[in-house]
Structure 1
Amino acid sequence: MTATLTTGHVPAVHRVSVARAYRFELVKLVSQWRIRLLVLACWVVPALFVAVVSRQSTLPVDTLFGRWMNATGWAGPLVVLGFAGTWALPLVTSLVAGDVFASEDRLGTWRHLLVAVRSPRRIFAAKALASLTVILLLVIGLAGSSAAGGVLAVGNQPLVGLDGHLLTSGDAAVRVLLAWACVLAPTLALAGIGLLGSVVLGRSPMGLLLPALVALAMQLAQMLPLPVAMRLALPGYAFIAWNGLFTSSAQLAPVLTGIAVSLVWAMTATVLAYLLFLRRDFTNPTDEGSGRRAFTAGVLPLVGLTAVTFGIVAGATGATGSGIKQEKVQRSVATAFAHLYRIQTQQLHRPAVTEAQLRATAACNKGGVDRDAEGPGNDWHCVVSWHLPGVTATGTAIYQLDVTADGRYVADGDGPKEVNGYFLVRTPTGDAPNPLWQFDSNVELLDTTSKGN
């Protein structure tokens, strides 16, 4: 009897495609209770918040555009955007991107995932794309929900811009959409940092907290009197640069600079995470990150990137000092006053007047310094002068300014009473909020906008 050896056909094992792995990772993410709760909160809470606050007699006037929440539905999404850039978006990136790799360490499922996908490169791409998809879904929810809540609760009225000029409802809608689009770039930068922390620190809770801590550090840096080039070299500036979209001459240079810097940070952090992930020894269960590797592979490259971007921004813009100078403050105050004076004229049913006819000017000093005053502070004092057609006397109004380090300021009217000394004006239809009593505006930190009013 002769034995015969038969060789059976062994099917070839194919690697799982990126698209299939991406769908698998996306299902894993949205099946987590905290992600579902986050999606629900981002799609529901902003609408409720805007609708409720817009109906209150007391508005968040210390928040940009907060004083206009009961006048137009387009102020609400901008108030939510300011909050989201400070708290919500860093938290979102921490909970999603900061945990996407660390969760496998906690569950001990790397070996099973590698056997199924058979490619660390595809695993990284699938996890990164899935986390970015969820983050994008949450950002869209924040923007859409807040806009819907504002328009439904208050209406589709025009919006007063940051320098006092009136935006039509259509223009306001476009600029609100662009403002939310602008913060996608710094959100991607935080997501890249979250991926890096998740890869480098493993199951350590510091990996989960890293995007939020970095965002907090950048917010604190924006409050300091840093040189304007250093301010723009940090991706956190893009969370506030959208303010420049709401001026009559859009301040695009800071916006575009912030977006470019944020995208460079996002790309650098993601590439670092990718390279470190490929170098990981998955056969060793204890190889899940160390403090030394986090410092040398994570912190040092980002510090170096900050130095490089600072040099590039300083060389490309020629920006020096704080960027808050006397001439800019005077021009900004005069421009905002002229625009808001026209709104007050319409409220009082007085003869229409144009900014050119008003010829508004402002003389400002800081702490008694009348020449070459500069820098942030709450000791700015301005006297605005204007002219009315057919009137020989020159009108004057006094304002006290609190200018923050990022260029935003609140101008508080200090008389005369009939112009800006009281928060209400008596109109033919009853008392109405006085637009000249207090107003928000900003000083463009880069010298790019035309000097005309």
Structure 2
Amino acid sequence: MTATVAEATKETAAPVARSVSVPRAYRFELVKLLSQWRVRLLIVACWLAPALFVAVISQQAALPVDTLFGRWMHATGWAGPLVILGFSGSWALPLLTSLIAGDVFASEDRLGTWRHLLVAVRSPRRIFVSKALSSLTVIVVLVIGMVCSSTISGLVVVGNRSLNGLDGHLLSPGDAAGRVLLAWACALAPTLALAAIGLLGSVALGRSPMGLLLPAVVALAMQIVQQLPVPVAIRYALPGYAFISWNGLFTSPAQRGPLLIGIAVSLVWVVVATALAYFLFVRRDFTNPAHDGSGRLAITAGLLPLVVLFGLTAGVLASVAGVGSGIDQDKVQRSVATSFAHLYRLQTKQLNRPDVTEAQLQTSAACTKGGDQVAAVGAGNDWRCVVSWHIPGVEAAGSAIYQLDINPLGRYVADGDGPKEVNGFFLVRTPAGDEPNPLWQFDANIELLPSTPKG
């Protein structure tokens, strides 16, 4: 009788509910994201808009010379994806992370679907992991689309030609391809940092619009700081610096120090911001349908830890990068002399003159700031350099004058100021068509880390 009752009890007992696995929850969240018209529109835009932009601009007479590598869009197809990368790091990628990661949790608050999701998945931890991974997947797809679109368009419209680096040296098509792809891969680190900040804002601020805008606001704030004359340590301590430090890949030798610091700082921010978002999410009270984020908890467990992280990072980097601007007379002189020597050889080849080497030219530069009225350090548009070089078989040394506009990030534009035959404006016939004299204006980059003494 007892056995019969026990068997009947087993038959009538409700089945034990099991938690949904992470892969299954991840697929579910990914389908939810991809079913949104907004996300579909972003995917189409990222896979088509860069191609159209590069194709149109590359055929225009006026190029975006104020953008890094913009002046080379007529010469090589590898300049296009770098122009897109420069624009994306400032505007497109922060906006994409806001629309994807900044809304992935807040959307459930607006729709009031948390209870249904918890009943289906039965694990806040699995919900967090699946939502974070699905948003990461969509962001990576968007970035890949921008890379492929801009690269294919540039190669088809302009061609697979050599690219001039930021110190004037020529990169072969194969070398340019590797560095362009590496630059985009490095830009993923700050993109993920902004995505992690978006996750944190989406969790902490609930349905508040500020959670959605947080990555874009943070990115804008970092851009403003980067344009100010702040110490190098503060500049490097911001997770968005890796959007800028990829420039060092296009010098010879490559400026790896700032790039590695930028990537490392960004990844630390990814870990910390994601951990804070996870902590806030698993402690949330899902029984309250009117939950709209806790302002006090968002500050104490969200904002303050990131402020502390920034302060600690800046303190650690101060011992490596120093507290100055990172721009001094010696660095400027070496950079201008190196760039001039490389571009002089390019001009010599384009004008069908006898080739010379950098060693034969013995190029040097003497630079001042503000006409010797101020110390020759820091950013400004009042730098003036006199470049000297020697041509084999010619007794007299050549000289040319440049006016430099150096921004706080170390990037500068050198504008030729004579003699006209050397660095004035005139057209040179190249395989890509008539191009401006390469010595007329050129972009270059100064590494802000302290110079390593040569032994």
Determine the C-alpha separation between the residues in 2 that align with 1:21 and 1:434: 58
Match of 2:340 among 337, 340, 348: 337
Per the alignment, do residues 34 and 23 of structure 1 end up closer, same or farther by CA in structure 2, a change over 3 Å counting?
same
**Map 1:314-393 → 2, pairs under 5 A:** 314-315=318-319, 317-369=320-372, 373-393=376-396
Q: Contact 1:323–1:375 (CA<8 Å) still a contact in 2?
A: yes
Q: Normalising by the residue count of structure 2, what TM-score does the alignment of the two structures yield?
A: 0.96
How far did 1:358 drift?
A: 0.5
Deviation string for 1:273-311 (max 9, x for gaps)?
Answer: 000001100001122313332222221111111001001
How far did 1:432 drift?
A: 3.6
**Map 1:115-130 → 2, pairs under 5 A:** 115-130=119-134
Determine the C-alpha separation between the residues in 2 that align with 1:430 and 1:259: 38
How far did 1:370 drift?
A: 7.7
The residue matched to 2:422 in structure 1 has which SS?
coil
The residue matched to 1:419 in structure 2 has which SS?
helix
The residue matched to 1:418 in structure 2 has which SS?
helix
- Aligned pairs, how many? 448
1:195 corresponds in structure 2 to 199
Match of 2:189 among 185, 192, 197: 185
Consecutive unaligned residues in structure 1, runs of 5 or more: none
Consecutive unaligned residues in structure 2, runs of 5 or more: none
How far did 1:319 drift?
A: 2.2
Q: Contact 1:379–1:400 (CA<8 Å) still a contact in 2?
A: yes
The residue matched to 1:287 in structure 2 has which SS?
coil
Residues 1:217 and 2:196 are matched in the alignment = no
Determine the C-alpha separation between the residues in 2 that align with 1:384 and 1:436: 12
How far did 1:154 drift?
A: 0.4
1:207 corresponds in structure 2 to 211
User: What is the letter of the counterpart of residue 204 of structure 1?
Assistant: S
Residues 1:285 and 2:289 are matched in the alignment = yes
User: What is the letter of the counterpart of residue 333 of structure 1?
Assistant: V
The residue matched to 2:242 in structure 1 has which SS?
helix
2:302 corresponds in structure 1 to 298
The residue matched to 1:380 in structure 2 has which SS?
strand
2:112 corresponds in structure 1 to 108
Determine the C-alpha separation between the residues in 2 that align with 1:145 and 1:256: 27
Q: Contact 1:77–1:150 (CA<8 Å) still a contact in 2?
A: yes
% identical aligned pairs: 73
Q: After the TM superposition, which segments of 4 or more aligned residues of structure 1 sit over 3 Å from their partners?
A: 425-432, 448-452
**Map 1:369-448 → 2, pairs under 5 A:** 369=372, 373-425=376-428, 432-448=435-451
Q: Contact 2:232–2:321 (CA<8 Å) still a contact in 1?
A: no
Match of 1:75 among 56, 75, 79: 79
How far did 1:270 drift?
A: 0.4
The RMSD of aligned alpha carbons is 1.7
Q: Contact 1:364–1:370 (CA<8 Å) still a contact in 2?
A: no
Q: Contact 1:426–1:432 (CA<8 Å) still a contact in 2?
A: yes
User: What is the letter of the counterpart of residue 173 of structure 2?
Assistant: S
Determine the C-alpha separation between the residues in 2 that align with 1:312 and 1:230: 10
Q: Contact 1:348–1:427 (CA<8 Å) still a contact in 2?
A: no
Per the alignment, do residues 49 and 390 of structure 1 end up closer, same or farther by CA in structure 2, a change over 3 Å counting?
same
How far did 1:426 drift?
A: 7.1
1:34 corresponds in structure 2 to 38
1:233 corresponds in structure 2 to 237
Residues 1:259 and 2:253 are matched in the alignment = no
2:148 corresponds in structure 1 to 144
How far did 1:264 drift?
A: 0.4
Determine the C-alpha separation between the residues in 2 that align with 1:450 and 1:158: 32
Determine the C-alpha separation between the residues in 2 that align with 1:98 and 1:431: 47
Q: Normalising by the residue count of structure 1, what TM-score does the alignment of the two structures yield?
A: 0.96
Determine the C-alpha separation between the residues in 2 that align with 1:128 and 1:111: 19
1:171 corresponds in structure 2 to 175
How far did 1:236 drift?
A: 1.2
Q: Contact 1:253–1:448 (CA<8 Å) still a contact in 2?
A: no
User: What is the letter of the counterpart of residue 148 of structure 1?
Assistant: I
Determine the C-alpha separation between the residues in 1 that align with 2:64 and 2:247: 17
Determine the C-alpha separation between the residues in 1 that align with 2:38 and 2:454: 50
Q: Contact 2:415–2:441 (CA<8 Å) still a contact in 1?
A: yes
Determine the C-alpha separation between the residues in 2 that align with 1:116 and 1:429: 60
Q: Contact 2:75–2:432 (CA<8 Å) still a contact in 1?
A: no
